[in-house]
């Protein structure tokens, strides 16, 4: 099949059609309308085989994750998703692979009313670039640069699951069947925390999604906000799979450094703690207070008994 045949058969068949898309797939560019009284939030991520996912990952999971990591960025800004574009390079036009990839991509897209409005399909080594776009009321975006001293630091979900899955895939650790299923699902099909991000608008001071490891990503907030933090490492939320598969110190290291969790880390003024916890309680997702923002710059990792943590804290390095 030609490039245009493949696009028409697999990528232009999404059932989600938004009224704000005036012209979608099929022309040189898309035409869309930003609702009145909203700002446009735009993010882009590239995933490359054997860099961002094992090449043998099922294509359904690759399609799902390619969109999920971008929606996670929108969630970290408090944005409501709307549109996406997809540029994908394939070594061969394997129609079964393409169908499974699209099934994964559109499963997540339809769940959050995201319409694929364009992109590109080319021949080459397996990679994909997704651009996701969403809306936010003016001035309500959650930023990395607005954390304040005395803010409480929260994270959603659990940390370290995706890292444990990668250790398993690299045959660095043996896991039970139940643990394998749990952590591989977290690695291959992360859940973008979009409802949580929307609930944090106007309440949280700062936010980021955890893609490169908690210590590294929280470090971005600290640097851009020119503040510091105390994080209690024995308060980090861990899944049963992580706790049962690793000794406590290794579990903490994984939670701090492994990345690929795509949970949210956000800071909350203490006077709004009760209100935010009440709002988040309506969403079936764990959230945990792990520390506090300080005036003194730098990341201070310690235990609740005030003993210092001296283990690894370097996250994923892109270069």
pLDDT band at 2 (very low <50, low <70, confident <90, very high): confident
CA dist list (Å): 214 to 10, 117, 137, 209: 37, 33, 28, 9
The response to whether 209 counts as a known ligand-binding position is: yes
Q: Is 119 annotated as a binding residue?
A: yes
Whether 319 shows a pLDDT value over 50: the answer reads no
Half-sphere exposure of 9 (CA within 13 A, CB side): 13
- The answer to whether residue 276 scores a pLDDT higher than 50 is yes
| Per-residue pLDDT at 42 | 98
Q: What is the pLDDT of residue 30?
A: 96
Tell which residue, 140, 241, 249, 153, has the closest CA to residue 199.
140
Indicate whether 315 pLDDT > 80.
no
Q: Is 52 annotated as a binding residue?
A: yes
Residue by residue, DSSP assigns 86-107 as: EEEEESS--HHHHHHHHHHHHH
Tens-place pLDDT, residues 63-113: 999 999 999 999 999 999 999 999 999 999 999 999 999 999 999 999 999
Residue 205 known to bind ligand: no
Of 305, 154, 163, 155, which Cα lies nearest the Cα of 246? 163
Residue 211 sits at the vertex; the CA angle it makes with 76 and 133, to the nearest 5 degrees, is 40
User: Which whole number is the average pLDDT over 130-146?
Assistant: 97
Q: What are phi and psi of 47, to 5 degrees?
A: -120, 130
Is 125 one of the annotated binding-site residues? no
- Confirm whether residue 144 is marked as ligand binding: yes
pLDDT digits (tens, 9 = 90+) for 37-62: 999 999 999 999 998 999 899 999 99
State residue 259's pLDDT score. Answer: 86
pLDDT tens per residue across span 103-116: 999 999 999 999 99
Q: What is the pLDDT of residue 313?
A: 79
Split at pLDDT 50, 70, 90, the class of 236 is: very high
Per-residue pLDDT of 155-193, as tens digits, reads 999 999 999 999 999 889 999 999 999 999 999 999 999
Mean pLDDT score across all residues of the chain:
95
Percent of the chain with pLDDT over 70: 98
Average pLDDT, integer, range 187-203: 96
Q: How many helices (H) and strands (E) does the chain have?
A: 10, 12
HEC string for 123-138: ECCCEEEEEEEEEECC
Tell how far CA 233 is from the center of its chain.
21
For 62, 70, 164, 172, 233, the CA distances from 183, given in Å and listed in that order, are 16, 20, 7, 14, 21
103 annotated as belonging to a binding site for a ligand: no
pLDDT at 318 over 90: no
Question: Is 123 among the annotated ligand-binding positions?
Answer: no
316 in a labelled binding site: yes
pLDDT at 116: 98
Residues of the chain above pLDDT 90, percent: 92
176 is in an annotated binding site: no
Q: Which of 272, 125, 140, 149 is nearest to 197 (CA)?
A: 140
Mean pLDDT (whole number) for 272-297: 95
Examine the pLDDT at 134 and tell me if it is beyond 50: yes
The string of DSSP codes covering 41-88 is EEEEEEEEBTTTB-TTS-HHHHHHHHHHHHHHHHHHHTPEEEEEEEEE
- pTM here is 0.95
Is 45 annotated for ligand binding? yes
- 151 among the known binding-site residues? no
Phi and psi torsions of 94, nearest 5°: -80, 105
Distance, in Å, from the CA atom of 256 to the CA atom of 84, rounded to the nearest integer, reads 31
Domains of the chain, start order = 3-136 (3.30.1330.10), 152-302 (3.90.650.10)
């Amino acid at each position: 099949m030609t490039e245009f045949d493949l696009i028409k058969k697999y990528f232009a068949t999404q059932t989600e059609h938004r009224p704000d898309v005036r012209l979608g797939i099929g022309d040189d560019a898309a035409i869309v309308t930003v609702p009145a009284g909203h700002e446009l939030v735009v993010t882009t991520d590239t995933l490359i085989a054997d860099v961002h996912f094992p090449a043998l990952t099922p294509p359904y999971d690759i399609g799902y994750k390619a969109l999920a990591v971008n929606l996670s960025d929108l969630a970290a800004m408090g944005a409501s998703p709307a549109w996406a574009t997809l540029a994908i390079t394939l070594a061969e036009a394997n129609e079964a692979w393409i169908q499974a990839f699209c099934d994964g991509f559109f499963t997540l897209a339809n769940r959050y009313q995201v319409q694929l409005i364009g992109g590109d399909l080319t021949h080459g080594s397996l990679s994909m670039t997704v651009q996701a776009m969403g809306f936010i009321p003016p001035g309500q975006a959650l930023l990395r640069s607005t954390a304040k001293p005395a803010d409480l630091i929260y994270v959603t979900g659990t940390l370290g699951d995706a890292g444990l899955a990668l250790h398993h895939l690299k045959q660095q650790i043996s896991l039970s069947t139940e643990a394998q299923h749990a952590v591989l699902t977290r690695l291959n099909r992360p859940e973008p925390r979009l409802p949580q991000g929307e609930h944090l608008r106007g309440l949280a001071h700062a936010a980021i999604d955890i893609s490169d490891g908690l210590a590294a990503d929280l470090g971005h907030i600290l640097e851009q906000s020119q503040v510091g933090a105390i994080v209690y490492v024995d308060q980090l939320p861990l899944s049963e799979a992580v706790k049962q598969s690793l000794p406590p110190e290794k579990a903490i290291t994984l939670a701090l450094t492994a990345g690929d969790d795509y949970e949210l880390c956000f800071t909350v003024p203490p006077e709004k703690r009760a209100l935010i916890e009440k709002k988040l309680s309506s969403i079936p997702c764990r959230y945990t207070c792990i520390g506090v923002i300080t005036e003194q710059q730098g990341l201070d990792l310690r235990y609740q008994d005030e003993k210092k943590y001296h283990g690894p804290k370097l996250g994923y390095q892109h270069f």
